[in-house]
Amino acid sequence: MKKLLLTASLLASPAFAEGELKIYHWFEYIPQELVDKFQAETGITVTIDTYDSNESMLAALKAGKLGEYDVAVPGDYMVEIMGTEGLLDTFAPEDLANFANIDPKWVDVPFDPGRKSSIPYQWGSTGFSVNRDVYSGDIGSLSILFDPPAELQGKINVLDSQGEVLALGSFFLGIPQCSQDRAQLQALNDMLLNAKQHWASFGSDTAKDVLVSGDAAAGMIYNGFSAKARAEGANVEYAAPKEGYVVWMDNVVLLKDAPNRDNALKFMNFLLDPENSAAVTNYAAYSSGVTGVEAFLLDEIKNSPENNPPADQKGFFIQACDEETQKLYDAIWTNLKK
């Protein structure tokens, strides 16, 4: 796990000073300038630790880190799981002066109806990108990842993210998420194991870098990472596969037993300011869940192909499975990662 050292190490003392905020966040997902702005405006000292998947974040919190952090930034389905497992605190809309800035379509969401434990951070998609200097053929299918053409075999990076890999695999096979059908689950397991022989690596925080360096010619990737790869000179094209792609929303959640609860709410309110939310979008190249950001967005962000998929292609949220069904998918993932 990488650590962004904005203050002294978390290991220095178990005590928490009044002017602190401890954030558990994705890698490369908030501009340092925005953190500096928050610190300057509030006098609160910020420390950020990072993770590379929803599942690794959940595992760390359940293994003893709950109570160390004030907020985390899970994806949509993970918010639901964390709420079910009692890892989240709640707040009232009046606790956040900027609550009304949340885009109405992102308020009554199924993973946190009425936004009692979370606010929207950024949303986007997970599909794949292909280096057009290496492969010029059709990239409109998830077969690029799961049954790749010869030019791409052995040159594919796959996200180290259970939810997204298994969801895209399910889309490719045309089976439902959270299936309990043994034949369907066996087919998913077998397909992934066969596809794995054509993959070069598993990597989430390196997904952009391997495309830029040429270490991978194709890769499962977040749309913002693909836009950044293009901006850094890689001749990549982001695909919207016909079978479907993952749509996600990352959310800032108030964690149970947050040591600096009031500061956490100040930070969440800060992020609901349109100018501040736009700063995240301009940095990360995704989309905001806050109204009023358009005036602050860069043209290359508003017009990027990664943020404007074809209207005839469909995106789907990852579903949170019940506990027993999830064990079946956990077994498939464990088998794939051996």
> To 5 degrees, how large is the angle CA 259–CA 261–CA 266?
135
Cα–Cα dist 188/38, whole Å: 45
Which pLDDT score, from 0 to 100, does residue 325 have?
Answer: 97
Q: What is the pLDDT of residues 226-265, one digit of tens each?
A: 999 999 999 999 998 999 999 999 999 999 999 999 999 9
* pTM exceeds 0.85: yes
Identify the segments of the chain with pLDDT beneath 70: 1-18
Mention every residue, 6+ apart, whose C-beta is less than 8 A from residue 96.
119, 265, 268, 269, 272
Chain position carrying tokens 């469909």: 314
Which pLDDT score, from 0 to 100, does residue 11 have?
Answer: 35
Which pLDDT score, from 0 to 100, does residue 12 have?
Answer: 36
- CB-side exposure of 7: number of CA atoms within 13 Å? 21
Q: Helix or strand or coil: residue 133?
A: coil
Domains contained in the chain, CATH given: 3-123+249-302 (3.40.190.10), 124-246+309-336 (3.40.190.10)
Write the DSSP assignment of 26-74 as a string of letters: ETT-S-HHHHHHHHHHH--EEEEEEESSHHHHHHHIIIIITTT-SEE--
Which pLDDT score, from 0 to 100, does residue 18 have?
Answer: 61
